[in-house]
Amino acid sequence: MANPSPPRKATEPPWRTEGTPEEPPKPPPGGRRMRGGWWSLVLTALVVYLIANLVLSFFNGRDEPTISYTEFSRQVDAGNVSKIYAKGDAIQGQLKKAQDDPEGEGTYTKFQTERPTFADDQLWDDLTRHDVTVTAEPVVQHRSFLANLLISLAPMLLLVLLWVFIARRMSRAMGGGAGGMLGRKAPPRPVELRPGTKRTTFADVAGIDEVEGELSDVVDFLKNPDAYRRMGAKMPRGVLLAGPPGTGKTLLARAVAGEAGVPFFSASASEFIEMIVGVGASRVRELFAEARKVAPSIIFIDEIDTIGRARGGGAGVGGHDEREQTLNQILTEMDGFSGSEGVVVIAATNRADVLDPALTRPGRFDRVVHVSPPDRGGREAILDIHTREIPLARDVDLAQVARTTPGMTGAELANLANEAALLAVKRKQDRVTQGDFSEALEKVQLGAERSLVMPEDERRRTAYHESGHALLGMLQPGADPVRKITIVPRGRALGVTLSTPDSDKYAYTEEYLRGRIIGALGGMAAEHVVYGVITTGSENDLEQVTRIARGMVGRWGMSERVGRLSALPGDAQQAYGLAAAPQTLDAIDGEMRRVVDECYEEACRKLRDHRGQLDALAEALLLNETLDEADAYRIAGITRLTKEGPEA
């Protein structure tokens, strides 16, 4: 091996226990031959052989033209024949001077002819009189069968050499031997860092302190395994990181390996899957074998739900498809740990609910760590990490940015910092300002601005639509404060009203959710109150309203008629019609309509009662196109309430 494993202080016990399959023997130096490949090669060689024989026969036939016996007699009488060879009635000969080919294809000196059986000429006397030599060997020496065979096999040998050369090059590139042509890759190696590059540690991770606490046990075990063995404690064989995308699951796995200072094997679950059944299981065996050689080490499998979904649903014939075989091999390998190898498997998934129960049972992934989006303090710490190398102006307040980004994950915050830096570069600034962060946040949350010229009537209708959203958000008790209103087209929207809470919310009351529905229906209600029409601009609002109302009635027990039960699945991908009885689904639909209709009537009533404020906001939007938080509340004549009291 290119990188031999370090010597072990003590002999390790066998890593496999009862019931686990034996490790497959190594292929011979020449590698495994591809089944069916030799048959195709023999067929190709046969075709090449036949073509070569035809070509050689064609050229051999043109070397000695056949002439008539009359022409032969004429050449003998002219004394132009130097020697002949006869076998039966067939005659071969050679001329002293070249003659024109009777077929008109150049000249010839060697020839062949056939003496008629009825000829009674004195051929021997004529030959003797003109001093023609009668030889005992053929005048035209034909190649032997062996020579013809070798010449005809030359193209085939070239083809074989070319095929062997290409096969060896491919096998070297894909993991040795012709088995590489079956999709086998080179044995996995630990993730290597460039010289001088620091490894990721917990210092590079922020906002998820409670997760760090759970994973610090793994780090301590990898650093001090003997202390755990003396106490008879066994470290969890696998740690499953579950959480939404972008929360830092891969970063956490790297940080664990960096803190412990052990090799880190990283692979995506999709890399194990191949069209050929059995290749994925072979790769899993190789991965675990390599990790054991350099133990203590960490194996990280990203997106494990790709192969770890519950078995039995939608599988191939008999359930023996490639995905299930790969999953079975992972289960077998994790069962093979004796606890002393020092190999910890960390996996990440966004869909922990669809994993096979055999994967999450104790003894495999027996510790599940939920990685949630960070809170306000965590967001500030994450922004601080991602702005280490970004020159910030003095007016930048990362705490303020963290307050206005509730629900954003670490990846989204990293993107926000990068967008702010890109804006500063475009503006040819030396430092990133608070304005750059504000504009970058608008771009991330609302979408990029579009240069769209709207007719004046549509522009005015859009202004009333957004003013309806904003005004109801200001009037509704406990609603999220309005941060910005704009009628500048962004993304797919003709206008946007941005509302975010002052602090993170983890539980929602029925009053708050109704306020959300009323605010979302504010645009449609404003168009109805002012113009008496409804446009397609409320499509996204209605989707949001439907989602909230369905959750209130079918999942969170906020309906007296449906009762205190969860009748609908939390997963939107699950079939809606299979979740409850038809009568229950009818009751849910009826209650959803009731809730939405009540909220819509209240929205229309409030806008009629505060029509003057609605008109003032719409006119200000038509004049300025964008209103920030302070201007919006001032124009509407509403005092924004905070936890500390009225805001000036």
Instruction: Give yes or no: residues 348 and 208 share one domain.
Output: yes
H/E element, 258: helix 249-260
Residue 53 in this model has a pLDDT that exceeds 50 = yes
The confidence score (pLDDT) of residue 422 equals 92
> Do residues 413 and 356 share a domain?
no
Greater confidence (278 vs 500) lies with 500
CATH of the domain at 221: 3.40.50.300
Boundary of a domain, candidates 370, 390, 413:
370
pLDDT of 128 reads 78
What range does the domain containing 428 cover? 376-446
pLDDT band at 145 (very low <50, low <70, confident <90, very high): low
At which residue do the structure tokens 């570069």 appear?
425
For residue 407, how many other CB atoms are within 10 A of its CB?
13
Q: 380 and 483 in one domain?
A: no
> Is pLDDT at 18 greater than 60 in this prediction?
no
Residues 167/40, Cβ–Cβ less than 8 Å = no
Residues placed in the known binding site: 243-250, 465, 469, 541
Higher pLDDT pick, 175 / 617 = 617
Q: Report which listed range, 119-133, 322-336, 434-448, 550-564, is most confident.
A: 550-564
Question: Which of 338, 370, 402 delimits the end of a domain?
Answer: 370
Residue 2 lies in a domain: no
Long-range contacts of 291-296 (CB under 8 A, 24+ apart): 291/263, 291/265, 291/343, 292/12, 292/15, 292/341, 292/343, 293/5, 294/5, 294/6, 294/190, 294/263, 295/12, 295/341, 295/342, 295/343, 296/222, 296/225, 296/260, 296/262, 296/341, 296/342, 296/343, 296/344
Quote the pLDDT of residue 609.
92
Q: Are 16 and 336 in contact (CB under 8 A)?
A: yes
CA angle 446–451–457, rounded 5-degree value: 90
Is residue 583 assigned to a domain?
A: yes
Residue 43 pLDDT more than 60? Answer: yes
What percent of the chain has pLDDT above 90? 11
In a domain, 529, yes or no: yes
pTM, 2 dp: 0.63
φ/ψ of residue 210, rounded to 5:
-65, -30
Q: DSSP 3-state assignment of 578? A: helix
pLDDT at 617: 92
Paired sense of beta strands 482-486 and 626-628, if any: antiparallel
| Overall average pLDDT of the 203-227 stretch | 78
Residues 500 and 627 in one domain: yes
Do residues 519 and 401 share a domain? no
**Residue 521 resides in a domain:** yes
**Residue 44 and residue 167 in one domain:** yes
**Same domain assignment for residues 596 and 549:** yes
Which residues are bridge partners to 499 per DSSP?
A: 482
pLDDT at 33: 46
Overall average pLDDT of the 368-377 stretch: 85
Among residues 6, 9, 14, which one has the least CA distance to residue 226? 9
Three-class DSSP labels, 410-456: HHHHHHHHHHHHHHHHHCCCCCECHHHHHHHHHHHHHCCECCCCCCH
Q: Are residues 103 and 83 in the same domain?
A: yes
The answer to whether residues 262 and 247 belong to one domain is yes
Band of pLDDT at residue 648, cut at 50, 70 and 90: very low
**Backbone φ and ψ of 98, nearest 5°:** -65, 145
Confidence band, pLDDT 50/70/90 cuts, at residue 600: very high
Kindly give, in sequence order, each residue whose CB lies less than 8 Å from that of residue 481, ignoring residues fewer than 6 positions away: 473, 499, 500, 501, 502, 629, 640
Q: Establish if 13 belongs to a structural domain.
A: no
588 Cβ partners below 8 Å, 6+ apart? 550, 553, 554, 559, 562, 567, 568, 580
pLDDT of the residue at 524: 92
Condensed to tens digits (0 to 9), the pLDDT of residues 551-584 reads 999 888 898 888 888 887 765 445 555 567 888 8
Average pLDDT (49-77) is: 69
Q: What is the mean pLDDT of residues 331-335?
A: 78
193 assigned to some structural domain = no
Mean pLDDT for 442-466 is 82
Specify the CATH number for the domain of residue 536: 1.20.58.760
Last residue of a domain, one of 346, 370, 394: 370
> Which residue ranges are tagged as binding site for ATP?
243-250
* CA distances to 211, 238, 375, 516, 640 from 482, in Å: 33, 45, 20, 12, 9
d(CA 338, CA 264): 20
Distance (Å, rounded) from C-alpha 435 to C-alpha 616?
Answer: 27
Three-state SS string across 91-155, please?
A: EEEEEEEEEECCCCCCEEEEEEEECCCCCCCCHHHHHHHCCCEECCCCCCCCCCHHHHHHHHHHH
pLDDT attached to residue 606: 92
pLDDT of residue 37: 53
| pLDDT value, residue 165 | 76
The pLDDT of 484-493, averaged and rounded, is: 81
Query: What span, in angstroms and rounded, lies between the C-alpha atoms of 416 and 429?
Result: 17
Quote the number of domains for the chain. 5
Class of residue 174 by CB neighbours under 10 A (exposed 0-12, middle 13-18, buried 19+): middle
Where residue 521 falls among pLDDT bands split at 50, 70, 90?
Answer: very high
For 303, left (φ over 0), alpha (ψ -120 to 50), or beta? left
Q: What 3-state class would DSSP assign to 252?
A: helix
pLDDT interval class at 142 (50, 70, 90)? low
- Same-domain pairing of 296 and 413: no
Say yes or no to pLDDT of 149 above 60: yes
Q: State pLDDT tens for residues 379-397.
A: 888 898 888 888 988 888 8
Structure tokens at 576: 């809606």
CATH number of domain containing 391: 1.10.8.60
- Active site (annotated) includes residue 560: no
pLDDT of residue 608: 92
In terms of average pLDDT, the best of 21-35, 291-305, 363-377, 601-615 is 601-615
Number of residues that make up the chain: 648
Question: Which residues on adjacent β-strands are paired with residue 345?
Answer: 238, 299
pLDDT for residue 250 is more than 60: yes
Question: Residues within the annotated binding site for Zn(2+)?
Answer: 465, 469, 541
- Do residue 420 and residue 481 come from a single domain? no
For tokens 């490949």, what's the residue? 37
**Whole-number percent of the chain with pLDDT over 70:** 75
Q: Is the pLDDT of residue 181 over 60?
A: no
Query: Would 17 be classed as within a structural domain?
Result: no
pLDDT of residue 516 exceeding 80, the answer is: yes
Cβ atoms of residues 417 and 387 within 8 Å: yes
Whether the pLDDT of residue 604 is over 90: the answer is yes
Residue 424 CB neighbours (<10 A): 22
Mean predicted confidence (pLDDT) in 487-505:
79
Sign of the alpha-carbon dihedral angle for 429, 435, 438, 439: negative
CATH of the domain at 111: 3.30.720.210
Same domain, 227 and 95: no
Report the C-alpha gap between 521 and 543 in whole angstroms.
11
Q: What is the mean pLDDT of the chain?
A: 76
**CA dist., res. 552 & res. 510, Å (int):** 8
Residue 348: inside a domain? yes
Q: Which is catalytic among the residues 466, 527, 591, 602?
A: 466
For residues 164 and 632, the model is more confident at: 632
DSSP 8-state assignment for residue 625: S
User: Tokens 């009628």, residue?
Assistant: 487
Q: What is the mean pLDDT of residues 436-441?
A: 86
Q: Which amino acid belongs to residue 174?
A: M
Query: Which structure tokens are listed for 220?
Result: 């301590």
Closest CA to 35 of 183, 182, 185, 184: 182
pLDDT grade, residue 188 (50/70/90)? low
- Exposed/middle/buried for residue 285 (C-beta within 10 Å: 0-12, 13-18, 19+): middle
Spatial CB neighbours of 550, under 8 Å, sequence gap ≥ 6:
568, 588, 592
| Model confidence at 168: pLDDT above 50 | yes
